[in-house]
Amino acid sequence: MSQFSVLVQKELRESWRSFKLLWIPLVFILLGVSDPLLNYFMMDILKAVGGMPEGFEMVMPEFTPADILAASTGQFQSVGLIVLITAFVGSVSRERQNGTATLLYVRPISYVSLFLSKWVVAVLVAIVSIVAGYAASTYYTIILYGTVEWDRFFAMVGTYIIWICLVMAITLAMSASFKTVVAATITIILVLVGLIIDSFIGSFWSVSPWKLANFALALLSDYYDKTDFVITLGLSIGLIVLFIIIGIVMSKRNASTTKI
């Protein structure tokens, strides 16, 4: 356990020195505030820009707090996921490629502690970013559109965090398995392309870990199947464990490929 804590502290220091604990939450804050502000002031922006045809009128729909939070989640699901994957996809593979992992591998080390420390810190940074993004979005949503139901809101955020834990497990498992470029490609295919496929033909199945973000948003209302949600949640947690195991095994197997 002491080895794990030391490795976690090492990863935290590296995240702080590389400013990941600063710039990633800032990105999510910007994503969080963009939708409530842009949607609310869209007409004012169009009038200020000018150049609209004479007599042109645009009627903006009446947005509810749930609509704005859904829009912010959509931002997190696109730009946010790309930022997180890009930031952490080299966590394991880059250390092997530049030789810094040699300083760790020459010592008796637990690969379980090694991989888990990287995953825990990646998840911690991601959670801080997600919470910061939702806090910013919710602040302006309450001011401009009305209050939210806090019990449903926290259930939504908690469910979405589990989805992010899965994304980080996939990212680091691929980083442990392949070189950085290959790992990034496979991670994007598994996560982002998986989301696209699910959005197009996901109506043919009601249970999928790639639906977890949709279920998180559905928690803001009563329009969801609780059985499907529980099964999806269980599958997601199971995949988290599976990819962590894959990451640990591949970290050990590929340790010999570290450059000296």
Where exactly are the structural domains of the chain? 2-255
193: three-class secondary structure by DSSP: helix
List b or e across 16-54, with b for residues whose CB sees 16 or more CB atoms inside 10 angstroms.
eeeebbeebbebbbebbbbbbbebbeeeeeeeeeeeeee
pLDDT level of residue 21 (50, 70, 90 thresholds): very high
List b or e across 168-181, with b for residues whose CB sees 16 or more CB atoms inside 10 angstroms.
bbbbbbbbbbbebe
User: Are the C-beta atoms of 254 and 176 separated by less than 8 Å?
Assistant: yes
User: Are the C-beta atoms of 101 and 255 separated by less than 8 Å?
Assistant: yes
What pLDDT is stored for residue 43 in this prediction? 72
97 Cα distance to chain centroid? 25
For residue 79, pLDDT over 80 is answered with yes
What pLDDT is stored for residue 199 in this prediction? 87
Q: In which region does residue 221 sit, left (phi positive, over 0), alpha (psi from -120 to 50) or beta (all else)?
A: beta
What pLDDT is stored for residue 220 in this prediction? 85
User: Are the C-beta atoms of 39 and 71 separated by less than 8 Å?
Assistant: yes
pLDDT level of residue 68 (50, 70, 90 thresholds): very high
What pLDDT is stored for residue 125 in this prediction? 97
E strands, the chain, in order: none
For residue 139, pLDDT over 70 is answered with yes
User: Are the C-beta atoms of 170 and 243 separated by less than 8 Å?
Assistant: yes
For the chain, what is the mean pLDDT? 88
The stretch 70-87 carries a mean pLDDT of 94
What pLDDT is stored for residue 201 in this prediction? 87
Instruction: Tell me, yes or no, if the pTM score tops 0.85.
Output: yes
- Please state, in angstroms and rounded to a whole number, the distance separating the CA atoms of residues 114 and 76: 28
The stretch 36-42 carries a mean pLDDT of 84
List the helix and strand counts (H, then E) for the chain. Answer: 13, 0
Most confident of 48-52, 98-102, 200-204: 200-204
Query: For residue 256, what are the CA distances in angstroms to 20, 73, 104, 180, 191?
Result: 29, 41, 12, 16, 28
